[in-house]
Amino acid sequence: MKAVILAGGLGTRLSEETALRPKPMVEIGGLPVLWHIMKTYAAHGIDDFVVCCGYKGTVIKDWFVNYRRRMSDLTVDLGRDEVTVHTPHDEPWRVTLVDTGAETMTGGRLARVREHIGDETFCLTYGDGVADVDLTAEIDFHRQQGGLATMLAVQPPGRFGALVLGPDETRVDQFQEKPDGDGAWINGGYFVLEPAAIDTITGDDTVWEQGPLRDLAHRGELSAFRHTGFWQPMDTLRDKNLLENLWAAGEAPWKVW
């Protein structure tokens, strides 16, 4: 099974990091968040990836081309112009890197890599969020449902502290720093799809989260796999620092490998 990763957006809300590199290449623990996502898939036996590049896509391509040397000890003989790799650290991954355009929307990016997907069930996710999702269970669920698409459904926590005011509305009876959200389920980004789902995409300007998903839902072809574990997008510097701190403390829930 293949996993398609959308990695071409501008990442404007994380401009502190994305001025020089695409958001999927922002590092957590010294390695791109894209690597973390791929390690999650690999832990479930999925090691054939199609990465949809766009903004500063050459940074992603160069990183993977030089992956073996980046991850291994080296001896560089400058006189002979030779590099010896010691104890090479490789991943058994096949990574197809496709330039899907700088301005292409999420649906358009998926349509542009159609030829690399084949005719079998595949996974799709964004290159900027991590989770401890049981991908094996989600794939099994998708097959049981028999539809064209399955979406990971998550309930994000509230972002701001919540107050419970007393009867006079001037004294605080209770304060919760990290309150529960409003209970709504939202798109968690980890999809399992049939190739026919791509037929709902009309062109480069198609936003996957709008027309295609609404169409699939209207036709009864979209299922929701509910996930109540860890899920965290990396949209802002605050999100990036949260993930970095969890990794540094050895408490990263998404590290399932």
SS3 193: strand
All residue ranges of the chain with pLDDT < 70 are 158-166, 168-182
Q: What is the pLDDT of residues 64-81, one digit of tens each?
A: 999 988 888 989 999 999
Q: Model-level pTM?
A: 0.89
Instruction: State the pLDDT at residue 93.
Output: 97
Residue with tokens 């992603």: 60
Q: Could you read off the pLDDT of 122-162 as tens digits, one per residue?
A: 999 999 999 999 999 999 999 999 999 999 999 887 665 55
What is d(CA 169, CA 245) in angstroms, rounded to the nearest whole number? 37
Hey, is 41 helix, strand or coil? helix
The pairing of strands 149-154 and 186-193 is antiparallel
**From CA 28, how far away is CA 173, in angstroms rounded?**
39
